[in-house]
Amino acid sequence: MRRLLLAALLVPPLLPLLGARPAEAQPVLGIVVEEGTGMPVMGAMVMLYDGGGERVDRMLTNVAGRFALDARAAGPHYLTVERIGYTTLTTDRFNAGPDNLYLTIDVPIEPVALTGLDVESGRRCEVRPEEGRVTARVWDEVRKALTAEAWTREAALYRYTLARFSRALDRDGDNVLADTTRITTNRDGAFTSAPIERLAAEGFVQSEGDSATTYYAPDAGALISDVFLDTHCMGVREGDDGRIALTFEPIPERRVPDIAGVLWVDAATGELDRLEYDYRNLIRSSEIGDPGGEVSFVRLPNGAWIVRDWRIRMPRLESILGIIRRYGYHDEGGVTRIVTDSRGRAVLDAEAGTIFGVVTDSLGTGPPGEAMFVDIPGTATGMIPDDDGSFLFSGLDAGRHVVRLQRPLLSSWGLAAAEVAVDAALGEVAYVRVRAPSVADVLASSCGGAPRPPGTAALLGRVTTLEDVPAGQARVTVRWPAATGYTPTGPATPHDPSGAAGPAWELGRDGHFVTASTTTDARGLFLLCDLPPGLRLAATIGWPGAEPSARTTIFVEPGVPAVVRRVVMSTLDYMM
Q: What is the DSSP string of 226-260?
A: HHHHHHEEEEEEE-STTEEEEEEEE-TT--S-EEE
Residue 488 lies in a domain: yes
The rounded Cα 4 to chain-centroid distance in angstroms is 24
Q: Residues 145, 125: contact at Cβ < 8 Å?
A: no
The C-alpha atoms of residue 384 and residue 405 are separated, in whole angstroms, by 10
Q: pLDDT in tens for each of the 576 residues of the chain?
A: 444 554 433 333 444 454 555 556 688 999 999 998 899 999 999 999 999 999 999 999 999 999 999 998 889 999 999 999 999 999 999 998 777 678 999 999 888 877 666 666 556 788 888 776 889 999 999 999 999 999 999 999 999 999 999 999 999 999 999 999 999 999 998 888 999 999 999 999 998 766 678 999 999 999 999 999 999 999 998 888 889 999 999 999 999 999 999 999 999 899 999 999 999 998 777 888 889 999 999 999 889 999 999 999 999 988 888 788 899 999 999 999 999 999 999 999 999 999 999 999 988 888 898 889 999 988 878 999 999 999 999 999 999 999 999 998 888 888 888 889 999 999 999 999 999 999 999 999 889 888 899 999 999 999 998 888 999 999 999 999 999 999 998 899 998 877 777 788 999 999 999 999 999 999 999 999 999 999 999 999 998 888 888 899 999 999 999 999 999 986 433 333
546, 522: one domain = yes
- Residue 238 has a CB neighbour count (10 Å cut-off) of 13
Length reported for the chain = 576
* C-alpha dist (Å) from residue 541 to 66, 90, 380, 548: 50, 62, 41, 5
Q: How far is CA 416 from CA 408, 412, 441, 443, 494, in A?
A: 11, 10, 11, 10, 9
Q: How far apart are CA 469 and CA 367, in angstroms?
A: 31
Domain contains 260: yes
Question: Do residues 179 and 320 both lie within one domain?
Answer: yes
Q: Are residues 429 and 549 in the same domain?
A: no
Number of domains the chain is built from:
4
Instruction: Determine, yes or no, domain membership for 555.
Output: yes
**What SS3 class is residue 445?**
helix
Looking at 110, 132, 165, the residue that finishes a domain is 110
Domain termination site, one of 340, 374, 407:
340
From the CA atom positions of the chain, what is the Rg in Å? 32
Per-residue pLDDT, 279: 95
Question: Is 570 domain-assigned?
Answer: yes
Beta bridge partners of 323: 320
Nearest to 305 by CA among 394, 229, 219: 219
Cβ pair 31, 80 in contact under 8 A: no
Question: Do 314 and 302 have their domain in common?
Answer: yes
Residue 282 inside a domain? The answer is: yes
CB 476 within 8 A of CB 517: yes
Strands 429-435 and 550-555: unpaired
Considering the domain boundaries, does residue 117 fall inside one? Answer: no
User: What is the C-alpha separation between 110 and 4, in angstroms, rounded?
Assistant: 18
Pair 406, 330 in one domain? no
pLDDT value at residue 572: 39
Q: Are residues 449 and 393 in the same domain?
A: no
- Pair (335, 470) in one structural domain: no
Clarify whether residues 58 and 84 are in a common domain. yes
Contact 83, 60 (CB under 8 A): no
**550 and 567 Cβ atoms separated by less than 8 Å:** yes
Question: Which structural domain, as residue segments, surrounds residue 186?
Answer: 122-340
73 and 153 fall within a common domain: no
Helix/strand/coil for 559: coil
Cβ proximity of 196 and 221 under 8 Å: yes
The answer to whether residue 115 sits within a structural domain is: no
Q: What is the CATH number of the domain that holds 416?
A: 2.60.40.1120
Cα separation, 420 vs 374, whole angstroms:
11
CA 141 to chain centre: 18
The reply to whether 187 and 336 lie within a common domain is yes
CB neighbourhood size of 1 (10 A): 9
Separation in Å, CA 351 to CA 14, 354, 375, 481? 35, 10, 21, 64
Q: Does 346 reside within a domain? A: no
Residues whose CB falls within 8 Å of the CB of residue 191, separated by 6 or more in sequence, listed in order? 217, 219, 307, 310, 334
If asked whether residues 135 and 248 sit together in one domain, one would say yes
Residue where a domain stops, chosen among 110, 140, 170: 110
**DSSP per residue, 360-408:** E-TTSSSS-SS--EEE-TTSS-EEPPPTTSEEEEEEEPSEEEEEEEE-H
Shared domain for 141 and 287, answered yes or no, is yes
What pLDDT sits at residue 12? 39
DSSP state, residue 2: B
**Which CATH number fits the domain that encloses residue 13?**
2.60.40.10
Between the alpha carbon of residue 66 and those of residues 17, 30, 110, 140, 303, the distances in Å are 9, 6, 21, 24, 13
pLDDT at 497: 77
